[in-house]
């Protein structure tokens, strides 16, 4: 049956592309994806596959119960866009200024929708139940996964698998991990309040830029000098906002950044050390501060047995010429919440478009659409693999 399913997936490829390009033209930001959610729900309505909408927000869940007994497996795709201006010169360029699908979620959605259409034709022969889990708001913490789970998205589910089209991997390459797949991703904001004044009289001021610069330098020593060298983490200052004139010493500076980590013990050390550094530097400079640290997505932990199922599934897909275990990526993903609740695995499907070297979240980001059927075949292969496990 799997060979016939693969053939059906190949035959539906034009529709995959059509859906992906339509969604690419009409992206919606995290927690605002009402029209996209309706598009997904309407698609299942036409397929006559039972579904529920407004799960944990804008989430949509469709359920295809097979004609034979078996396990229940959830397959997940996300569908939110990003606040980025689309700079590609393509017919399917985003029609909404300042919003685009710069991470492949349009492709994820097209993959899962058309896979559902294919599997509807095989429903009577199907063992178990497929849960098509369409998640909103992956891009912005607290994300859509957690509220969907809290609303019962994984109730009665035995395992969950997810795919990410990965634009920096060649088409035909698949990656997964049997442990940590992606990092925990936090964010923080630090505001330092000094005392401004004329640039000619620094002795009368408390220079917020100088103080903040000292904080930036010291924070980088947490990873290099305060963590076990065998542990890993990243502390990045992404924004440094201060000053409004060339000859005025700034009274206020704001730092905004992210922390990436692989385990919660390291996360707690980093939070503690950041607070010590900020407090110490501000006290020594007689400055006030506010420090807000927001814990984001936890590290994404794959289960080894389910990751092995993904690797085995790839062997039956002729388009995949390389399937491998990968070291963890420092990017974050709220698929982490699913594998905290149920056995499962996340994997990357190579989607690099020749002539388009731009990474995820870039204004010129794009994917090779030939990756879509590969992702669909891997997802359904994982489903069948889990049924036999």
Structure tokens at 301: 């932990």
Structure tokens at 33: 């994806």
Tally of CB atoms within 10 A around 383 = 26
Residue 80 bears catalytic tag: yes
Catalytic entry in 78, 80, 366, 368: 80
Instruction: Sort residue 286 into left (φ over 0), alpha (ψ -120 to 50) or beta.
Output: left
Q: How far is CA 51 from CA 44, 227, 341, in A?
A: 7, 47, 22
Cα-Cα-Cα-Cα dihedral sign, residues 221, 222, 228, 231: negative
Residue 324 bears catalytic tag: no
Instruction: Sort residue 361 into left (φ over 0), alpha (ψ -120 to 50) or beta.
Output: left
The residue with tokens 């924070």 is: 219
Catalytic entry in 138, 139, 333, 366: 138
Asked if the peptide bond before residue 142 counts as cis, ω within 30 degrees of 0, the response is: yes
Structure tokens at 25: 């033209």
Do the Cβ atoms of 119 and 380 come closer than 8 Å? yes
Tally of CB atoms within 10 A around 64 = 21
The residue with tokens 């590969």 is: 374
Single out the residue of 143, 164, 156, 125 nearest to residue 63, CA to CA: 156
Single out the residue of 85, 126, 135 nearest to residue 365, CA to CA: 85
* Residues that are catalytic: 80, 138
């Amino acid at each position: 049956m799997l060979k016939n399913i693969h053939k059906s997936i190949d035959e539906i490829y034009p529709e995959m592309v059509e859906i992906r390009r339509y969604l690419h033209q009409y992206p919606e930001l995290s927690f605002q994806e009402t029209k996209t959610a309706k598009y997904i729900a309407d698609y299942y309505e036409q397929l006559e596959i039972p579904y529920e909408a407004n799960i944990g927000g804008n989430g949509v869940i469709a359920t295809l119960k097979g004609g034979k007994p078996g396990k229940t497996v959830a397959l997940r795709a996300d569908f939110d866009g990003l606040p980025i201006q689309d700079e590609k010169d393509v017919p399917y360029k985003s029609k909404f200024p300042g919003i685009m699908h710069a991470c492949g979620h349009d492709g994820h959605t097209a993959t899962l929708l058309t896979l559902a259409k294919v599997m509807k034709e095989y429903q009577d022969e199907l063992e178990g139940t497929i849960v098509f889990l369409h998640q909103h708001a992956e891009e912005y913490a607290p994300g859509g996964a957690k509220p969907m789970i809290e609303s019962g998205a994984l109730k009665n589910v035995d395992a969950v698998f997810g795919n990410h089209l990965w634009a920096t991997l060649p088409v035909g390459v698949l990656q997964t991990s049997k442990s940590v797949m992606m990092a925990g991703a936090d964010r923080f904001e630090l505001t330092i309040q000094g005392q401004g004044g004329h640039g000619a009289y620094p002795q009368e001021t408390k220079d917020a830029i100088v103080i903040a610069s000292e904080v930036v330098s010291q924070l980088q020593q947490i990873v290099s000098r305060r963590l076990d060298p065998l542990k890993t983490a990243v502390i990045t200052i992404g924004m440094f906002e201060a000053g409004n004139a060339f000859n005025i010493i700034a009274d206020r500076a704001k730092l905004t950044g992210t922390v990436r980590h692989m385990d919660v013990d390291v996360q707690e050390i980093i939070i503690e050390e950041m607070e010590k550094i900020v407090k110490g530097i501000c006290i020594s400079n007689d400055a006030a501060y506010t420090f807000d640290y927001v814990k984001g997505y936890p590290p994404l932990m794959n289960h080894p047995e389910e990751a092995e199922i993904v690797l085995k599934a790839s062997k039956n897909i002729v388009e995949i010429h390389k399937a491998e275990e990968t070291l963890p990526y420092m990017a974050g993903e709220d698929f982490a919440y699913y594998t905290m609740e149920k056995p499962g695995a996340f994997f990357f499907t190579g989607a690099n478009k020749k002539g388009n070297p731009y990474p995820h979240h870039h204004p010129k980001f794009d994917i090779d659409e030939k990756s879509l059927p590969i992702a669909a075949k891997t997802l359904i292969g994982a489903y069948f693999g889990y049924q036999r496990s």
